Amino acid sequence: MSDRIASELDAVIVGAGFSGLYMLHHARDVLGLRARVYEAGDGVGGTWYWNRYPGARCDSESYYYSYSFSEELEQEWEWSSKYPEQPEILRYLNHVADRFDLRRDIQLGTRVTAAAWDDERARWQVSTDAGDTVMARYLISAVGCLSAANVPDIAGLDRFEGAWYHTGAWPHDGVDFSGQRVSLIGTGSTGIQATPVIAREADHLTVFQRTPNYSVPARNAPLTPEVAAEIKANYREIRRKARESFGGFPFDPSVRSALDHSEEERRAIYESLWEEGGFKFLYGSFFDIFFNEDANATAAEFIRERIRAIVEDPAVAEKLCPHDHPYGSKRPPIDTDYFETFNRDNVTLVDLRETPIEEITARGIRTTTEHHDVDVIVFATGFDAMTGSLLKIDIRGRGGLSLRDKWAAGPRSYLGLQVAGFPNLFTITGPGSPSVLSNMPVSIEQHVEWIGQCIAHLREHGVSSIEATEDAEDAWVDHVAEVASMTLFQKASSWYLGANIPGKTRVFMPYVGGVFPYRQRCDDVAAKGYEGFSLTS
C-alpha cells in the first residue's frame, strides 16, 4: 500500500504491468512528479500476474522481452532460457519493483472505476473501488491491451457442476488436473501453450477448436553462460536493432521476396527457420508475407505440410490445418509440441466448425452431435483486446464527453497516445500505435519516454493541458486504416479487429506502419512543438 496520503497528485497511472512500472519510475524518479499507480490485482506484473495457466511463457525471447532503460538491470538479471515461463517473468517484474523502490507509490487491489476531467482546474478527478478520490494533472493509462478476459456467453455455464477457469485469471495455487477429464476451448497462443502441458497431467483432454491456427516451434533452450555473456556484451546494439526494426525484434530485416526464389530455395529457407524456431519464421523469412497473398501462401502451405507430417491421424491433421486466413494475419503462436500432442491417446480434437457447441450442461459440453463428459473447462478464449480494460473505466473528458460514446464505432486517437476531447490523458500502447503488433517492451518504453518528454516540455513552458486536435486525430485514424488496408491483416477475423467479441465494432486497432517509422513520426511531432496537439497555458 502507498504510504502517501496525497489527494492531489501530478500523475495517476492505472496498471502495474510492464507499462505502469516503468511509467512510475520515469514520472517519479526522472521527472520528479508526485505519482501514484493504482493496480486492480494484488500484485505487480500485469499479464504475468494474471496469466498463470500451465505452459504460460513469453514468445519474444527473454533478452529482448525485457526493459532496456537501465544498463545495471540488464547486466545483473540472469534469464534462464530463451522463453522463460510465467513465474520467472513475474519474478523479474517484482525485482524491478523492488530495485527501483516502486512499491511505496503503488496501491494494489484497487481498481480505477471513473475519471472525469475538471476543465476549470485542468485536472483529472479519479475514483477507485476502494473509495479513493484523487485529483491529478495527468492521467496515464497503463491498463494493458490484453487484460480484460473474455469468457464467452455459452448457455448453461452457470449450471456446470465441475470447475471452470479462464487462463487470464488463473488460480494462484494452480489447478491439479490429475485424474481429471479436461476440456479446453480456444486455440490461440494461450490454448496452444496450455494444451501439451494439460495433456501430460490430465486423464483426458478434449480440445475444442473453432479456428485452426498456424504455429511454429519455439525450440526453447537454456541460455548458456556463453550466450548470456555475449548478449550482455552486445546489449546496446541489440536494443538499437530492436528499436529501429519493423516489429521491435532485433533481427536483421528480410529484404527477400518469397516470389523471387525457386521452390527449392524457398523451402530451404523455411526449413532452416523452422528448425531455428520462434518469430524469425515470420519476421526473418520474406518481407512480402504480410502484403502479398501469393508470397503468404508459400509460408502457409509449408506450415500445413509440417502439420500433416507431425500428426499421425490424417483426419485430425486436416482439421488442424489452418485454411481461412493468411499466415500472420492473426498473432501467430509459437509452440512446444502442440501438434505432437494430438498423437497422444488421451487427447481428442473437436472441430467446432463441424459440430458447434450447443450448451454447457451440469456434466459437460454438448455439441450438435455429442455430449462430452468433463470435470473441468478451461477457457483459453482470449481478451476484449486493446479497448476492453480502458472502456471498463467511466472516463469523461471535456464537457462530460464519455470515452465509451466516443469510441462506440471503434477507437479514435492521435498516434495511439491521446484522444481529442480528453486533455492530459495519455494511453500507453493505445489503439492506433504499434503495441500488440510488436515485441511490446520496445513499444512500451517508447511511449513512456515520449510521454515523459512531453510532460517535461509542458512543465518547462508553463502549459497546463495538452490535447490532440480533432483534425490530427482524424488524419491519424485515416492513416492507420489506410496502412492496414495495404496488408493481409484485414483478411482474418482476429482480435486485432475486435472480431472475437460479439457486438464489438470491427475496426483494425493497432498501427501496422512499423515500430521505427512510428517512433520517427512521434519524435517529429514533438520536435515540431507537439504538432497536432493544442497546448493551453
Q: Is 59 in the site for ligand FAD (CB under 6 A)?
A: yes
CB-CB neighbours of 400 under 10 Å: 10
Which lies closer to ligand NAP via its Cβ, residue 152 or residue 517? 152
Which lies closer to ligand NAP via its Cβ, residue 358 or residue 449? 358
Answer with the entry of ligand FAD, ligand NAP, none that 498 interacts with (C-beta below 5 to 8 A by kind). none
Which lies closer to ligand NAP via its Cβ, residue 25 or residue 331? 331
Which lies closer to ligand FAD via its Cβ, residue 65 or residue 77? 65
Q: What is the CA radius of gyration of the chain?
A: 23
Sign of CA dihedral 175, 176, 178, 179: negative
Residues 406-465 that bind ligand FAD (CB under 6 A): 429, 439-440, 444
Which lies closer to ligand NAP via its Cβ, residue 250 or residue 322? 322
Answer with the entry of ligand FAD, ligand NAP, none that 334 interacts with (C-beta below 5 to 8 A by kind). ligand NAP
Q: Is 195 in the site for ligand FAD (CB under 6 A)?
A: no
Entry field: residues in the chain: 537
CB-CB neighbours of 440 under 10 Å: 23
Which lies closer to ligand FAD via its Cβ, residue 133 or residue 536? 133
Which lies closer to ligand FAD via its Cβ, residue 170 or residue 177? 170
Answer with the entry of ligand FAD, ligand NAP, none that 472 interacts with (C-beta below 5 to 8 A by kind). none
Interacting residue with ligand FAD among 27, 35, 36, 46 (CB under 6 A): 46
Q: Quick one: which of 352, 348, 354, 375 has its CA closest to 363?
A: 375
Which lies closer to ligand NAP via its Cβ, residue 82 or residue 266? 82
Phi-psi group of 399: left, alpha or beta (phi > 0 → left; psi -120 to 50 → alpha; rest → beta): left
Do 167 and 190 touch, CB atoms closer than 8 A? yes
Task: Give the three cell numbers for residue 215.
Answer: 504455429
Which stretches of the chain bind ligand NAP, using CB under 6 A? 58-59, 146, 152, 185-191, 193, 210-211, 331, 333-334, 352, 380-383, 436, 495, 500
Q: Is 18 in the site for ligand FAD (CB under 6 A)?
A: yes
CB-CB neighbours of 534 under 10 Å: 14
Which lies closer to ligand NAP via its Cβ, residue 124 or residue 379? 379
Q: Quick one: which of 166, 172, 171, 160 has its CA closest to 184?
A: 166
Longest dimension (CA), the chain: 69
How many C-alpha atoms does 517 have within 13 Å on its Cβ side?
Answer: 10
Q: Is 389 in the site for ligand FAD (CB under 6 A)?
A: yes
Interacting residue with ligand FAD among 26, 38, 422, 488 (CB under 6 A): 38
Do 143 and 165 touch, CB atoms closer than 8 A? no
Which lies closer to ligand NAP via its Cβ, residue 58 or residue 455? 58
The residue type at 256:
R
Where do the DSSP E strands lie in 276-356?
Answer: 334-335, 347-351
Do 187 and 210 touch, CB atoms closer than 8 A? yes
288 Cβ neighbours under 8 A, 6+ residues apart: 257, 258, 259, 295, 296
Minimum separation from the CB atom of position 163 to ligand FAD (A): 21
DSSP state letter for 30? I
Answer with the entry of ligand NAP, ligand FAD, none that 352 interacts with (C-beta below 5 to 8 A by kind). ligand NAP
Residue 164 burial by Cβ neighbours in a 10 Å radius (0-12, 13-18, 19+): middle
Answer with the entry of ligand FAD, ligand NAP, none that 495 interacts with (C-beta below 5 to 8 A by kind). ligand NAP
Alpha helices for 358-426 (secondary structure H) = 388-392, 403-406
Answer with the entry of ligand NAP, ligand FAD, none that 152 interacts with (C-beta below 5 to 8 A by kind). ligand NAP
Binding footprint of ligand FAD, residue count (CB under 6 A): 35
Which lies closer to ligand NAP via its Cβ, residue 333 or residue 441? 333
Task: Give the three cell numbers for residue 223.
Answer: 541460455
Q: How far is Cα 261 from Cα 80, in angstroms, rounded to an integer?
A: 38
Interacting residue with ligand FAD among 12, 19, 296, 360 (CB under 6 A): 19
Answer with the entry of ligand NAP, ligand FAD, none that 331 interacts with (C-beta below 5 to 8 A by kind). ligand NAP
What is the signed CA dihedral for 248, 435, 90, 174, rounded to 10 degrees? -120
Q: How far is Cα 501 from Cα 514, in angstroms, rounded to an integer?
A: 26
Answer with the entry of ligand NAP, ligand FAD, none that 302 interacts with (C-beta below 5 to 8 A by kind). none
Minimum separation from the CB atom of position 89 to ligand FAD (A): 8
Minimum separation from the CB atom of position 111 to ligand FAD (A): 4
Interacting residue with ligand FAD among 51, 62, 206, 424 (CB under 6 A): 51
Minimum separation from the CB atom of position 328 to ligand FAD (A): 15
Answer with the entry of ligand NAP, ligand FAD, none that 393 interacts with (C-beta below 5 to 8 A by kind). ligand FAD
509 Cβ neighbours under 8 A, 6+ residues apart: 385, 386, 387, 410, 411, 431, 432, 496, 497, 498
Which lies closer to ligand NAP via its Cβ, residue 74 or residue 384? 384
Residue with cell 464489438: 504
Phi-psi group of 515: left, alpha or beta (phi > 0 → left; psi -120 to 50 → alpha; rest → beta): alpha
Q: Is 403 in the site for ligand FAD (CB under 6 A)?
A: no
Do 117 and 42 touch, CB atoms closer than 8 A? no
Minimum separation from the CB atom of position 51 to ligand FAD (A): 4
Minimum separation from the CB atom of position 339 to ligand FAD (A): 20
Footprint of ligand FAD on this chain (CB under 6 A)?
14-20, 38-41, 46-47, 49, 51, 56, 58-60, 65, 111-112, 142-144, 146-147, 190, 389, 392-393, 429, 439-440, 444
